[in-house]
């Protein structure tokens, strides 16, 4: 495992109030963290590894701009057809003894990916996946699942589909800072897009989402290029670090330095919980993370 180093990240604007309250009132018991899953979609391109990022309205523990994901749902425990590594295997991979929770994270990851992008890691058998997922019928199914009018597992069952857990790879576990009002304990996974599928934003809730070249995003991290493109009140004029949580920024760095999808997915990762801590650096409130450096000679402070 690469040697961990102290890294500093900018405090996103929407967290400043909570951070100052935490310091002024004195440390107290953090609010309970909800379990969440997120999927990093990957594809190779002539300009390097690309990933799908989307804008998240409101204040999300995943960031204003983030990989597809969200809170786990009670229905993620419902029976579902299952192809691929077992829940027990997933628990081992994720470093937990709670097999039920590991299963919930996997189902939740596949569900959230479907809701937010339409990409469906499921098929009628162990060697095939759904194709042509951009039709109006599939959008209606996404809307119904997102609005909780129909459970994801029910939708799969009616179509004779089972989740393909072999198409997911575990990445990292991030815990929201203690001071945050809304906190997630998020398991990140990676996946490539199945044949003849294409991600699209959700019709009713989607504002912005597209494939982003990781190296380009990192090269422009100190500019407001991405925030200005999204064009929302809480994105215009902001840099990458003000739009993403530290975990997402670090994952983008690793993608920018990976030699394609296979290299990134083959990287050996140990189960480890990462968490940003609030620190005062010369009067500036920042987030401190113990994480591996991914860019040779990079500055210690990320502004």
pLDDT at 297 over 50: no
Q: Give the start-end residues of each E strand in 124-244.
A: 162-164, 169-175, 183-192, 209-213
The total number of structural domains that make up the chain: 1
* Among candidate residues 24, 51, 3, the one with its CA nearest the CA of residue 199: 51
218-258 per-position pLDDT tens digit: 999 999 999 999 999 999 999 999 999 999 999 999 999 99
Instruction: Evaluate whether residue 279 is within a structural domain.
Output: no
Q: Which two tokens stand for residue 69?
A: 């994901």
303: pLDDT strictly greater than 50? no
Q: Computed over its alpha carbons, how large is the radius of gyration of the chain? A: 19
Please give the residue range of the domain that contains residue 221.
Answer: 34-270
**80 to 76, 97, 117, 202: CA distances (angstroms):** 9, 21, 21, 24
Per-residue pLDDT at 302: 35
CATH number (domain holding residue 54) = 3.90.79.10
Q: pLDDT digit string (tens) for 156-185?
A: 999 999 999 999 999 999 999 999 999 999
Non-local CB neighbours of 217 within 8 Å, separated by 6+ positions: 53, 226, 240, 252, 256
In a domain? residue 15: no
* pLDDT for 57: 86
Asked if the structure places residue 10 within a domain, the reply is no
Q: What pTM was computed for the model?
A: 0.93
Q: How far is Cα 99 from Cα 88, in angstroms, rounded to an integer?
A: 6
In-domain check, residue 180: yes
């Amino acid at each position: 495992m690469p040697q961990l180093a102290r890294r500093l990240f900018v405090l996103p604007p929407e967290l400043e109030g909570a951070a100052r309250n935490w310091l002024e009132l004195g440390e107290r018991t953090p609010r309970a963290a909800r379990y969440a899953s997120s999927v990093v979609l990957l594809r190779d391109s002539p300009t390097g590894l690309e990933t799908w990022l989307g804008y998240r309205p409101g204040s999300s523990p995943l960031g204003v701009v983030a990989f597809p994901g969200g809170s786990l749902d009670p229905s993620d425990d419902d029976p579902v057809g299952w192809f691929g590594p077992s829940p027990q295997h997933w628990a081992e991979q994720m470093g937990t003894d709670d097999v039920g929770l590991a299963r919930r994270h996997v189902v939740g990851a596949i569900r959230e990916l479907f809701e937010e992008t339409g990409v469906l890691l499921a098929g009628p058998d162990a060697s095939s996946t759904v194709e042509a997922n951009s039709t109006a019928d599939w959008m209606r199914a996404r809307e119904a699942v997102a609005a909780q009018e129909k459970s994801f597992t029910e939708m799969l069952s009616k179509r004779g589909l089972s989740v393909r857990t072999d198409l997911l790879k575990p990445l990292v576990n991030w815990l929201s800072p203690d001071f945050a009002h809304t906190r997630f304990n998020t398991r990140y996974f990676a996946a490539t897009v199945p044949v003849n599928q294409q991600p699209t934003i959700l019709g009713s809730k989607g504002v912005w989402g597209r494939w982003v070249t990781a190296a380009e995003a990192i090269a422009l991290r100190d500019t407001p290029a991405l925030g200005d493109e999204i064009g929302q009140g809480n994105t215009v004029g902001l840099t990458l670090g003000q739009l993403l949580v530290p975990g997402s920024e670090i994952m983008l760095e690793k993608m920018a330095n990976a030699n394609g999808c296979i290299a990134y997915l083959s990287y050996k990762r140990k189960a480890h919980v990462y968490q940003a801590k609030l620190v005062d650096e010369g009067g500036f409130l920042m987030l401190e993370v113990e994480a591996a450096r991914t860019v040779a000679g990079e500055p210690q402070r990320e502004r």
